[in-house]
Structure 1
């Protein structure tokens, strides 16, 4: 069997954590240097797809819908969002690590079908929190998949997104009929209650990592 080979490295701004991009034939993996576990694998993207489709199905009929995605990853959430949205929609992806955009424009892009080639997609290099703090009410859907869930694993600053302050900023950034969607590797009852205390209607949805009925169980919170 072929072995994974490292084809790229990147450092997360601000904390020095190093990411490794690995390839084995048509399979890709992203890991944190010095660990054995994976952050992402190109064969396990069912829940990333669900993050986009569950949210975008709710706003697809809105004219000129605007969607913000926090975290580019391997491009699967972006690809699924573009598939669910009409041609007049626009999707902005906030990606903290510039090399991740370069990977998606290079060999890694083949995994999700090069969604960055779609004219409806654009990338903001920077923390998605910067855009949420603007609070302009201009997004019809905000999809957040920047870490392992409510408890940040790769970057402690990500915890702000799941805090009352972060939730409030996301609410202010939504249009009147907008929807928030949060991805998590597992359930977190306290986060469900935190969303409800913010005055949001909440629907936690269990999805599978590989495809419906297969793979680990992940959670998508829809809030509006």
Structure 2
């Protein structure tokens, strides 16, 4: 099955041509590489951390509101579900996971799929103050696995699947993540959900083509615009991200 690449990152020397320069106040903490050669860098600037994918900012501890809302809104719409089963892919900087744990009951189980070992190392190491022990919560199972593989293997086991992979359906490393957002990937996600379950997808921008595909795949779709950074005011669209919420109808089979 053509799921996203399930290979771990490997370390490479940090001196390579064609890499963008860091800002003068940036401190390079660590480097890792994906199998296609794309590079991840963990960078610290004062008290804030950024993970760069080549020269793109992939995530930051300074812009986290929409990642938190991904979990909060999903849990709010699910309501009280005894023994709720949630899958999160991937860990990132952990803001979605921590928001989910804050909203869920003690009988919930949250599986976090993160194929990048370095991301977990950074969470437990230089970013441990942000991690705040969430990976050691007894409700959490951390799996070093491709989230697509877990989705493909599941059969009606999840109440919620939260995807914050790449930059959403139109991401930065689409060769790796295309399957998640394809018709076959969405069918697998629908099969993996219990009736009434929600597939929640973080996206940098709204995507009419993708929401149409979700609807054709049998989901009830709703898109919520949320602030990227807490406290931003006005009509700055650059600070808006999209949460794409797709519910599996209770009456649907499979």
TM norm structure 2? 0.82
Report the equivalent of 1:203.
Answer: 222
Report the equivalent of 1:48.
Answer: 67
Report the equivalent of 1:219.
Answer: 242
CA contact (8 A) 1:149 1:184 kept: yes
Work out whether 1:9 is the aligned partner of 2:31.
Answer: yes
Pair member with larger Rg: 2
Structure 2: where are the runs of 5+ without partners? Answer: 1-22, 248-254
Work out whether 1:169 is the aligned partner of 2:188.
Answer: yes
Describe the superposition over 1:134-181 as per-residue Cα deviations: whole angstroms up to 9, x where unpaired. 132111100001111112312412011111111100000001221110
Please tell me the root mean square deviation across aligned C-alpha atoms, in Å: 1.7
Q: For residue 130 of structure 2, give the secondary structure of its aligned residue in structure 1.
A: helix
Q: For residue 226 of structure 2, give the secondary structure of its aligned residue in structure 1.
A: strand
Report the equivalent of 2:6.
Answer: none
Number of residue pairs matched by the alignment: 221
CA contact (8 A) 1:31 1:38 kept: yes
CA contact (8 A) 1:11 1:97 kept: no
CA contact (8 A) 2:31 2:39 kept: yes
CA contact (8 A) 1:75 1:109 kept: no
Judged with a 3 Å threshold, the aligned counterparts in structure 2 of structure 1 residues 119 and 2 are, in CA distance, closer, same or farther, namely farther
Report the equivalent of 2:58.
Answer: 39
Report the equivalent of 2:140.
Answer: 121
